[in-house]
Each structure stands twice: as C-alpha cells, then as structure tokens.
A = this chain, B = another copy of it.
C-alpha cells in the first residue's frame, strides 16, 4: 500500500518517516497474542499533533478507510488489534502540555507513558493512583480509552476518576474538548465519561486533563494465606467490615500462587494456597494503625499472616503480584484470561466456578485480581501448539461469561471489550439499552470506521 502511505505522509510532520507502508507484526497484536489473536493493517501513521490526528481521520473518513488508534498495545481485549486500514499510533504525541503541581493538575498528550505520568506526579510531591499493569509499556491515552483499573482502584477509583477533561478527534475529523482544568462541570452531558472507556470507537483521545492528590507517605501491605477461596473471600469481607478503607484488596488463588511461587520475594510461610493482600496507606501513623486493623481482619481463618517491612520488601511484593499475568503466559505459552467483575459477595462463587469450568473443559486454570472490587482475571492455560485446547479455552470463556451473568456480574471490569468480548453485552444489558449502545456508536461514527468491530454490543 505504498500509495496509501504516500498520501498519509502528506498529512503528518516527518513526512515519509512518520508513515509505514506495511504494518510491522508488533503493531498487529496486543497482549491477546497469547490467545492467538492477530490482525492486519495497510499502513501505520505516527502523528505528532491533534491537528494531524484530525487531518488523518478526515482523510480516512472521506475515503472509507478504517482507523485503529493505538497506544502501548498492552491491552488484554484486542482493542488495538487492527482490522485492516490505518493503524494510528499516538506514541509521538507525548508532550506534557501543562503541569501545575501546586494546583494538583496536568494536561498530557495521549502518547505519554503511564509510568511517566506516575513519575511526573511523584517527582512533584503528588500521587496519580491509577496503576494498571504494564505501566512501562502502556500510554495514558490507552488507559483513558479503556478506563483502566489496577490494584489501587479499590480505594481511589479507575482511571476515569482522575480525568477532568478530554481532547479527542471525532468523525469525520473534528476536534472536541470537554471538561478542563475545572474539578466540577455540569455544563453539558458527560461526554467526557462517554469517551473514557469507549476504546477508540467513538473518538480518538489526543490529550487528557488529569488531577492528582498529594503524595501518600506510607503503604503497608498485609498478606494472608488461606486454605481455599471461600476462606479467602471471607477474609476480604472481613476487611470491608473492619472500618478501614484498604488502598488495595487483592487475591491470588492456589493455582496462581503455584505459578509465581518461586518468585515470591520471601520464604513462603505455608504450602502454596489462596492469598489475600490488603494494603493500608496514609501518613505513617495512620497507615500503621490501619495495618493493624487489616491484619486483625485477615487473621480469622488464616493459615498465616505476613506483614512485609521496609520499602524494598513492599515494592518486591507488588512487583511479584504484578508479575502473575506474565508468569501465566509462560506456563504453557497460551492463555485465555478474562477480566470479569461480580458483586464482591459472589467472589468465591466466581473463583470456584472458574476452576469448575476448567475441569469440565480439561484445562489448567488459575485466577487472581482485585478482590475488593469483585474483579477477577479468570484464566485458562494451554499450549499454543494445541489447537484443540485453544478451542476449548475459548469455549471455557463463553462458559465463564454465562457464569458471570448468573452471578449478576459484568463481562469486563477493567480490560474492556475490544474484539474478544464483542457481542456479549446482551448478557449485561436489556435489549433497549443495547439498542442505545448501537445508536451511540452510529451517532459518533456513522460509517463505522473508528476501530471497527471493537466494543460492539
């Protein structure tokens, strides 16, 4: 598609250097590669300004060329996997447009990496709580487009809770800005929240206005080990009843623990079993008080309760926790990992149900996730060479969606819908609501060229 590339080259600065006439394989997949998902595209463009994004969008829209916006490509739903047409990479849009630490706010472009937003806050005495995995790879635009979560979403909310404004390009190539450096705004419908989490299907997010809070002095996690999921889930509920709001409330089931057993940063106090992590935060005194309460709450029914001391041990614990997703990839090479959310009192049912589905389908399973939010990463493992196992894993995912529906839960807590959960919304919403979803897409993108096929109801 040399011709397409030539044409796009005229729309962006850097000309031919900012365009690729064929799409490298790194840009046709995301973290769903482990389940065998791969797309295709005709060209890649790397705009550096909002105006260039608008120009490319207008050009594509006029010619019926699909556009797949792309951030760091760390998504687990295939949201950045192209379906032909142009891959629009935001990575060159990485300016910090404004930073006002004393006013707790910044405006950054979509391509700024998540880790750099976190660092920007930290280096200025502030805290940006959203902490989805793969912060080194993912970009803030992608985090906002998927409304990404993470462990600390339990206390602090998901990415959208920290977005006070969005700049986006909407079809057929118009720039809109909603919200801003204002902390409350009801002047219009909440277009900002509508764009947040829309996975590039309504508009291409080019910049976001973020808010911060002052840095948190101390974080003290407590780790409890339990004989099974039911005892662990009871400990999670005990934390909720403790009067403390944990900063994070996580779990790893027995199988997940087994996978990362060797990497555990200390001696594992008991045989691998179900684990719950509750973190206390605040001033040193406050976090220390809260840790005592959480340790008490975690101790009932526990085989062991650990309190890692020292910043190094605490950071190691979180790195270990974050590593479970990658470690699961490595077990057999293939993985179908579905991010479901259930009412927190159905957590044990969801964990046990996942295991039961795996047994029925003849697959190794494990799960871990954000226990306090009832948000599971329910995972089926298989060898990438085993096509039959892969088919069974995809069928297991369908079973899982059915289970989720029965438990009154959602098919996606934080990873999004992308390609892999397209067509599942009827499990969650009635026909009238699904119809509104369809109409919203059509309103923004009547030609269905913006990330087509993604987040489809």
Chain A residues in contact with chain B, CB under 8 A?
Answer: 100, 102-104, 125, 146-147, 149, 153-154, 157-158, 160-161, 170, 174-178, 180-191, 193-194, 196-198, 202, 213-215, 237, 240-245, 282-283, 285-286, 289, 341-345, 370, 372-375, 408-417, 421, 424-425, 428-430, 432-434, 436-437, 439-441, 443-444, 455, 457
A180 to chain B, nearest CB (A): 6
Q: Indicate if the CB atoms of B103 and A185 lie closer than 8 Å.
A: no
Chain B residues lying within 8 Å of A411, measured Cβ to Cβ, are 187
Residue of B nearest to A238 (CB): B102
Q: State the number of copies, please.
A: 2
Q: Indicate if the CB atoms of B153 and A417 lie closer than 8 Å.
A: no
Given A283-B286, A457-B188, the answer on whether A343 and B147 have CB atoms closer than 8 Å is: no
Q: Indicate if the CB atoms of A170 and B289 lie closer than 8 Å.
A: no
Chain B residues lying within 8 Å of A341, measured Cβ to Cβ, are 182-185
Q: Indicate if the CB atoms of A176 and B345 lie closer than 8 Å.
A: no
Instruction: State which of B174, B194, B410, B455 has its C-beta within 8 Å of the C-beta of A432.
Output: B174
Q: Indicate if the CB atoms of B185 and A410 lie closer than 8 Å.
A: yes
A sample of 20 more A-B contacts (CB under 8 A), given A103-B344, A185-B428, A191-B433, is: A100-B345, A125-B243, A153-B184, A176-B430, A177-B430, A178-B433, A182-B374, A183-B372, A184-B413, A186-B414, A187-B412, A188-B455, A189-B194, A189-B197, A191-B437, A191-B440, A194-B194, A282-B286, A283-B286, A440-B443
Q: Indicate if the CB atoms of B436 and A184 lie closer than 8 Å.
A: no
Chain B residues lying within 8 Å of A373, measured Cβ to Cβ, are 183-184
Chain B residues lying within 8 Å of A414, measured Cβ to Cβ, are 184, 186
Interface CB pairs A-B, < 8 A, 23: A103-B343, A146-B186, A170-B436, A174-B432, A176-B430, A183-B372, A184-B373, A185-B341, A186-B197, A186-B416, A187-B411, A187-B417, A187-B421, A187-B429, A189-B440, A189-B455, A190-B190, A214-B242, A214-B243, A282-B282, A285-B285, A285-B289, A440-B443
A227 to chain B, nearest CB (A): 22
Q: Indicate if the CB atoms of B149 and A184 lie closer than 8 Å.
A: yes
Q: Indicate if the CB atoms of A409 and B182 lie closer than 8 Å.
A: yes
How long is the Cα–Cα vector from A197 to B440 in the complex, in angstroms? 18
Chain B residues lying within 8 Å of A180, measured Cβ to Cβ, are 343, 408, 410
